Amino acid sequence: MRESRLELWGALSLCVVCLLVGIPVLLEQLTGGAPTTGPAWLWWACYLGYLGTLGLAFTRWPLARRHPAPMVSAFGLCAVGTVLLAPRAGWTAILLVVVAAIAAHLVSRRATLLLIAGNSAVVALVATINSGAPLDAALSALIYATLQACAVWAVWSQLRETAATERLAVANTELRAATALLAESSRSAERLRIARELHDLVGHQLTALVLELEVASHRDGQAVTAHVLRARRLTKDLLGDVRTAVGELRGRAVPLRAALAELVADLPRPRVHLAVDEDVEPDEAAAATLIRCTQEVVTNAIRHSEAENLWIRIARTGAGTITLRAHDDGRGAPLVRTGNGLTGLRERVEQLGGAVSFDGRSGFQVEATVPVP
C-alpha cells in the first residue's frame, strides 16, 4: 500500500473520531436533555465550524500551509468553544488533541507547545466545572496534556522521517545522475580510444598493403596479376569496413532511455511517469544536458511540489531539436523564483543553444528544447 493511501485512511479515521465525539451531545438533546451550558445552536455552530475547518485542512492542505496562523486559530477557537459549551458531554476534549496534532504540522514548535498548554488549561477548567475538585482538574489536564504531547511527538517524528526520506531521494537521484554521466563518459572515452587505435594501427597498415599490391599488379605474369587484383579488392573492402566501424564507434547514440529510467526508479514520491520517444538519439553533450535537466526536475518535485505524480516526456521535433516537457500535480507557484537549481538548468540548456521555460500556475511545468546534430 502506498504512503498516500495510508495518509488517506488516517485522515478518514480521524474524521470519524471527530464525528463520534458529537454523538453523545446529539443523543442527549434528542432525549430531551440539556448537555450544553449555553444555547444549543452556539455549540452546534462551534462543532460544525470545527468539522468544516478540519475538512478544509485536509482537502486544501497547501492553502493551510500558506496561511497556517488563521487556520490553526479558527480550528482552536472552534474546539475550545465546543469543549467549554458542553463540559459534561464526555469526550469532546479529544478535539483539542486533534488541534494539537494539526498545529504540529503547520506552526512552529514554540507555538505548538503554547497551544498544548492552553488546551490543557481548558481541560482543567472543564474538570473544575464538573467536579470542583482541584485534584480531578489537575489529573484531567495532565492526561490530556500527555495525549497531546504524544500526538505532537508522533507528528514531529513523521515530519523528520519525511524530510529524511526526501533528502535521501534527492541524494539518490543526484548519485544516479552522476553515475549515468560517468558511465557514458567512460563508454565514450573507450569508444574514442578504440576508434583511434583502429584508425592509427590497422588503417595505416591496410593502406600500406594496398600500395604494395598496387605496385605488384604492374609486374609481369598474368596469373600473379589476377591474384593481386583480387587481393587488392578484398583489402580495399576491409579498409572500408574498418572506416565504417570507426565511424560507428564515434557516432554511436547515447542510451538515454536506460539512463533516465535508472535515474527515476524506486522514488517514494512523486511517482514518475517517464516517456522517451524511439527516435530520440542525442549526442553526448545533449544527453548529459537532458540527464541533468531530468535530475533537477525530479529533485525540485521532491523538495517543493508536494506532488503525487510527475510526468516527463522527451521527444524529437521536426526542427532538429529534442524537447523535454515535465509537469506535476503539486501545489505550483503563482510566481516562479529560479534558485540555483533552475538557474543551472537554464544555463546548461542555453549553453547548447537551446531554450527553457517554467510555469507554476497549474502544478509546476518545465519545457526545455535542446538542438542536436
Q: Where are the domains of the chain?
A: 3-166, 192-251, 254-371
In this prediction, residue 117 carries a pLDDT of 92
Q: How many Å apart are CA 49 and CA 78, to the nearest integer? A: 6
**Which has the closest alpha carbon to 86: 137, 33, 17, 19?**
33
pLDDT, mean of residues 103-113: 89
Q: How many Å apart are CA 137 and CA 87, to the nearest integer? A: 12
Higher pLDDT: 270 or 226? It is 270
Q: How confident is the model at residue 2 (pLDDT cuts 50, 70, 90)?
A: very low
**Which has the closest alpha carbon to 324: 363, 298, 362?**
298
pTM over 0.85: no
**Which has the closest alpha carbon to 126: 146, 143, 106, 104?**
143
Q: How confident is the model at residue 329 (pLDDT cuts 50, 70, 90)?
A: confident
CATH fold group of domain 254-371: Heat Shock Protein 90 (3.30.565)
pLDDT, mean of residues 212-236: 63
Backbone angles phi, psi at 273, to 5 degrees: -105, 105
pLDDT, mean of residues 10-37: 78
Residue 67 has pLDDT above 50, yes or no: yes
pLDDT tens readout for residues 185-214? 666 666 666 666 666 556 555 665 666 666
In this prediction, residue 150 carries a pLDDT of 92
Task: For 70-123, give the DSSP string.
Answer: HHHHHHHHHHHHHHHH-TTSSSTTHHHHHHHHHHHHHS-HHHHHHHHHHHHHHH
pLDDT tens readout for residues 124-169? 888 888 777 788 888 888 988 999 999 999 889 888 887 887 777 7
From residue 208, alpha-carbon distances to 217, 218, 243, 244, 280 in Å are: 14, 16, 15, 19, 40
In this prediction, residue 43 carries a pLDDT of 85
Helix locations, the chain, DSSP H: 3-21, 23-30, 40-59, 61-66, 68-85, 94-106, 109-131, 134-197, 204-216, 222-251, 256-263, 284-300, 340-351
From residue 72, alpha-carbon distances to 64, 147, 153 in Å are: 9, 18, 18
In this prediction, residue 1 carries a pLDDT of 37
Highest mean pLDDT among 19-23, 52-56, 162-166: 52-56
Mean pLDDT in the chain? 78
**Which has the closest alpha carbon to 39: 88, 87, 90, 86?**
86
In this prediction, residue 149 carries a pLDDT of 92
